[in-house]
């Protein structure tokens, strides 16, 4: 008998709210720590004399470690449970960050960055395994939306708070304090996560035995899962291309100063955060994730393409970035529902760990292409590229949905 069957509706609602809150906060911590150190680079350079190339290598090491380890974290989740892996990852991430301020030696910082990246790699497979197995079906899209909202809140909070603390008490105390907050969160998560369920519970309830490693890997080679990876790869290239290069593109195309050009990213992120909250309710109410994803990405693609095609005023551009960000946010929970539909029971950890690595690889590649557009004098082409990538993602999503339905029919026969 499942845990939900023994709980009243009120108890289920309280459990769902508690789990959604804890997962949203932990995801916010993951995103916060991704941007905790870079805002302090100027202060670290002045205090320690490390070059910006050396400092950038710390961030690169963090992301590479996270991307490479994320699929492996998914396997650990499905074998040992999400709660213990999530706590271990958060503890490693917060502990490594704390030590950065205590041992400011470059080789040590590099090792700590790698350890922090390894800790960061657990969040997506853990969070999605927990939400898939714990949250009631009718609140699943909202769970995904609050998870995403927490992540963006972490992104927004990190630069502001770290720059403030760094200027107030110095970079070492600032990064140490940031790590210490994570250790406090670790204690909160430890105490509040007793009712977390995950893919190991789903497997136990179905009576399925632990799969051999070869069979576990085989799950990731099915057509729906491979296409989910490609879908994430394309969408992330478009999203991260805009997030990282819009200030440069707006400066090159319209001669905005960098502060004004950077405001376009702020508008877009704010709109994403509003859109993702709305998208959770839309996804749970309509239950048509394929139509929501198709509509959002298609309209967004044509709006971005209009920046490539037309000369616009600053207010028109702000409006487009706001609408594009809102649509991207609305699409997100429904996009996760499609990935969930393609995930076999008991395999959510490794599937989400694998498909989210596609996002990391897409985010790593796109800056090089956009940099080439700028260096060769064709910066507008970057917006056409984003539009094409998002339209391709719609095609891949439709193929994924069809393959998922075909797989479900074959399993039912």
Q: What is the DSSP string of 204-266?
A: HHHTPPPPPHHHHHHHTTSHHHHHHHHHHHHHHHHHHHHHHHHHHHHHHHH---HHHHHHHHH
Question: What does the pLDDT look like over 94-152, one tens digit per residue?
Answer: 999 999 999 999 999 999 999 999 999 999 999 988 998 889 888 899 999 999 999 98
Question: What does the pLDDT look like over 219-247, one tens digit per residue?
Answer: 788 888 899 899 989 998 888 788 777 88
Question: What does the pLDDT look like over 329-361, one tens digit per residue?
Answer: 999 899 888 888 887 776 778 888 888 888 877
pLDDT, averaged across the chain: 87
Q: Are 53 and 104 in contact (CB under 8 A)?
A: no
What secondary structure letter does DSSP report for 267? Answer: H
Whether pLDDT at 373 is above 90: no
Supply the pLDDT for residue 413: 61
Supply the pLDDT for residue 202: 65
CA distance 185 to 225: 33
Supply the pLDDT for residue 386: 93
CATH class, domain 218-406, is mainly alpha
Residue range(s) in the chain whose domain bears CATH number 1.20.1250.20 = 4-210, 218-406
CA distance 18 to 121: 23
**Neighbouring residues of 218: CB distance < 8 A, sequence distance ≥ 6:** none
Indicate the SS3 state at residue 327. helix
Q: Does domain 4-210 have CATH number 1.20.1250.20?
A: yes
Question: What does the pLDDT look like over 280-301, one tens digit per residue?
Answer: 999 888 888 889 999 999 999 9
């Amino acid at each position: 008998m499942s845990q939900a069957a023994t709980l009243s509706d009120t108890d289920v609602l309280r459990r769902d709210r508690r789990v959604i809150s804890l997962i949203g906060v932990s995801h916010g911590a993951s995103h916060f720590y991704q941007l905790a150190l870079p805002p302090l680079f100027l202060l670290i350079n002045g205090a320690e004399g490390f070059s910006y190339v050396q400092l950038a290598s710390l961030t690169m090491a963090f992301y590479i470690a996270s991307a490479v380890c994320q699929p492996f974290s998914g396997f650990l989740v499905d074998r040992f449970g999400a709660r213990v892996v999530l706590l271990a990852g958060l503890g490693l991430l917060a502990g490594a960050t704390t030590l950065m301020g205590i041992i400011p030696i470059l080789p040590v910082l590099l090792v700590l960055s790698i350890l922090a990246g390894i800790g960061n790699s657990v969040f997506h497979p853990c969070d999605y395994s927990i939400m898939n197995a714990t949250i009631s079906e009718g609140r699943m899209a909202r769970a995904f939306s609050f998870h995403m909202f927490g992540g963006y809140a972490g992104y927004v909070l990190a630069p502001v708070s770290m720059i403030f603390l760094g200027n107030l008490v110095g970079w070492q105390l600032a990064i140490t304090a940031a790590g210490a907050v994570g250790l406090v969160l670790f204690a909160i998560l430890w105490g509040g996560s007793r009712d977390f369920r995950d893919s190991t519970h789903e497997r136990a309830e179905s009576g399925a035995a632990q799969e051999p490693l070869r069979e576990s890997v085989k799950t990731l080679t099915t057509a729906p899962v491979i296409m989910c990876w490609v879908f994430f790869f394309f969408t992330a290239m478009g999203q991260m291309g805009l997030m990282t290069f819009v200030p440069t593109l707006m400066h090159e195309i319209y001669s905005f100063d960098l502060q004004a050009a950077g405001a376009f990213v702020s508008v877009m992120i704010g709109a994403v955060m509003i859109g993702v909250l709305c998208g959770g309710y839309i996804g749970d109410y309509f239950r048509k994730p394929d139509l929501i994803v198709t509509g959002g990405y298609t309209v967004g693609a044509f709006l971005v393409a209009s920046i490539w095609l037309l000369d616009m005023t600053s207010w028109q551009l702000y409006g487009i970035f706001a609408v594009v960000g809102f649509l991207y946010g609305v699409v997100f929970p429904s996009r996760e529902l499609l990935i969930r539909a393609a995930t076999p029971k008991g395999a959510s950890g490794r599937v989400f760990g694998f498909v989210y690595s596609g996002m990391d690889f897409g985010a790593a590649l796109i800056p090089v292409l956009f940099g080439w557009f700028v260096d060769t004098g064709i910066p507008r082409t970057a917006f056409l590229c984003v539009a094409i990538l998002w339209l391709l993602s719609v095609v891949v999503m439709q193929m994924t949905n069809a393959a998922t339905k075909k797989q479900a029919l074959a399993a039912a026969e």
